[in-house]
Amino acid sequence: MQKRKLGKSNLEVSAIGFGCMGLSYGYGPATERTDAIKLIRTAHELGVTFFDSAEAYTGNEDLVGEALAPIRDEVVIATKFGFLNGDVTQGLDSRPERIRQVAETALKRLRTDRIDLFYQHRVDPNVPIEDVAGAVKDLIAAGKVGHFGMSEAGAASIRRAHAVQPVTALQSEYSLWWREPETEILPLLEELGIGFVPFSPLGKGFLTGAINENTTFDKSDFRMIVPRFSPEARRANQALVDLLGAIAEAKGVTKAQIALSWLLAQKPWIVPIPGTTKRHRLEENLGAAGVTLTAAELGEIQTALSAVEVRGARYPQHLQQRVGK
């Protein structure tokens, strides 16, 4: 597995990381613990050195901590603060005292003495971003945190935070079916030397081709409330998957590998973090690091994408209000 540096920082990680959220949260019932631990360790054996968690992903930090404890010094662990009581349904809380509390709890759950990358999960409009950056700066000075990150933040907040404590990475959604970051965010990150960690790089599974208009989701699956995953939107968005399929077939790879290799080709400081609960999907995803798209192929994808209109909002309205702040 090739390595990449997140922006101008010295934080070097595998070119593709592993998003651990879905093992315990967001996509239906949690994976059986022993199976989840085995999958995380398999990811490392296959070359992954970058693992993503969060306080808000119920039980996830404890799971990740147990899985990575034997190889702690070989990996980079990211986690997040920013929700009241660690619960996404209770609103935001990035008060400095809360940040310090989350850090101490995360260190215990993760069974480690430092958090390599500590993200603000969502910008809290009630707390000046300078205070947030200052709190993380203090944790870095104390040796409890290595790097400061932000998630789904807007350009102004990123710039203000970066002036207090350099931001190592921004984690936001970015994929072939959500390209909004290209307008303002990617140029800003390039200017400031900040790395980019796209989550949902496979469109929450849709870009793999494994989901269609007839797919049913568990009642606890987050996609149940996402407009882009309504049956009507899935039917309309199938055109994008069909397009990916044609490109993938011509190259002898899978749709997921095209989607991930396209992200890797955008900038050398982009590190996607696909998640999965299945070993064969893990191997497929990591195989994308070995797929190189030529300039002609990237141009073909660009031309084809311009002819497809993706339908449906990526978040319901109450969650959309939390992003881009």
Q: Are 152 and 323 in contact (CB under 8 A)?
A: yes
What are the helix (H) ranges across 24-171? 33-45, 60-68, 96-109, 129-141, 155-164
d(CA 241, CA 304): 11
Structure tokens at 156: 């102004």
Structure tokens at 241: 């998957």
Question: If you ran DSSP here, which 8-state letter would residue 30 be given?
Answer: P
Question: If you ran DSSP here, which 8-state letter would residue 31 be given?
Answer: P
* 20: helix, strand or coil: coil
27 is catalytic: no
Q: Are 9 and 166 in contact (CB under 8 A)?
A: yes
Neighbours of 190 (CB within 10 A): 13
Catalytic residue among 25, 27, 57, 119: 57
The Cα diameter of the chain in Å comes to: 54
Half-sphere exposure of 137 (CA within 13 A, CB side): 13
Q: Are 268 and 4 in contact (CB under 8 A)?
A: yes
d(CA 44, CA 292): 22
d(CA 135, CA 79): 16
Residues taking part in catalysis? 57
